[in-house]
Amino acid sequence: MSEEPREKAIRSSATAPHEAPPHRSGEAHHHHTHAANSRHPGHHHLLQVEGLSAAFEMYAPGAPFFEAERRLVPVIRDVSLGVHEGEVLAVVGASGAGKSLLAEAIMGIAAPNERIVGRIWFDGELEDEAGIERLRSREIAFVPQSIACLDPLMRVGEQVRGIPRGKGAARKADVARRIERQRELFRRYRLDESVERLYPHELSGGMARRVLLCCALVDEPRLIIADEPTPGLDLQLAEAALADLRAFADEGGAVMLITHDIELALAVADRVAVFHDGTVVEETSVASFASPELLRHPFSRELWHALPEHDFAVASRSVR
């Protein structure tokens, strides 16, 4: 990657359509094997990421401010993964490994000094920055990790409902639908109807996280990218949130669940992408975690040993 300033964009060196061979359960292709219920309309993934890398342009440490040279500090390296319709893909790895940056890069959300390269297909179509922006909040919903992503100047009910679509009578009907859907979600997540008139600073951390989940579920996206959606929730609410993501996938949607909790991932996911040292080192079905011999990468096997029902043999060294 050149050190010259560039637009913060998902850039592509090719415009060819995504490779679309027939898909079968258990077959290895595109860096992974399939789960039994993965769906492949058109013989392609709903989301396919190839060669995604992200780096931050920073000044060299130790040099005087006006003399310091700029350099690129890589954070994500050559990530490739796919998400099928009808499944939950869990991206697992240690906290601070860059999983949230991966989600933001896919969503086209980048800091001014961040440089992102790679290729992203959605439903078989190669997308550029403008394409990702069109998909965001329509075809793809994002549940961010930080509750600071809520607009501090907007009441939470309005944020969950989002922007109505259509004109005239169609718009009016969409407004009514969104209000009913927002209140249905609030009841499901034990948020009183009065909460819709509150501002984010008036919410507890757990309430704010529930509001973020409602924002993603209120519309009808095809893909949900959920970045650590359960911290701060009690067990019952966390299970309800995961059940909703599972139900969304079972109804034909796709979910990318980003988490450092491997137990949680194995309970709800169909496949697991193991994230380590800034890249995906293995993408495989949950069934492969039945035994370490079924896992290809050493870090994946270390995750297996770190599970409570196993021997914790390497947990202190690799999983924190």
Q: Is the pLDDT of residue 11 over 50?
A: no
| Both tokens assigned to 276 | 């380590």
Centre a 10 Å sphere on the Cβ of residue 77 and count the other Cβ atoms it contains: 15
pLDDT at residue number 10: 43
Centre a 10 Å sphere on the Cβ of residue 9 and count the other Cβ atoms it contains: 16
Q: Is the pLDDT of residue 111 over 50?
A: yes
pLDDT at residue number 32: 54
CB 156 within 8 Å of CB 203 = yes
pLDDT at residue number 303: 87
Taking only the tens place, the pLDDT of each residue in 175-187 is 999 999 999 999 9
Query: Among the listed ranges 24-33, 206-215, 265-274, which one has the minimum average pLDDT value?
Result: 24-33
**Spatial distance between the Cα atoms of 216 and 241, rounded to a whole number of angstroms:** 11
pLDDT at residue number 39: 55
* Higher-pLDDT residue of 313, 271: 271
Taking only the tens place, the pLDDT of each residue in 206-265 is 889 889 989 988 888 999 999 988 887 788 888 888 888 998 999 899 999 998 888 888
**Spatial distance between the Cα atoms of 219 and 211, rounded to a whole number of angstroms:** 14
Q: Is the pLDDT of residue 146 over 70?
A: yes
Kindly provide the residue ranges of all beta strands, DSSP E only, lying in 85-240, ordered along the sequence.
87-92, 114-122, 125-127, 140-143, 223-227
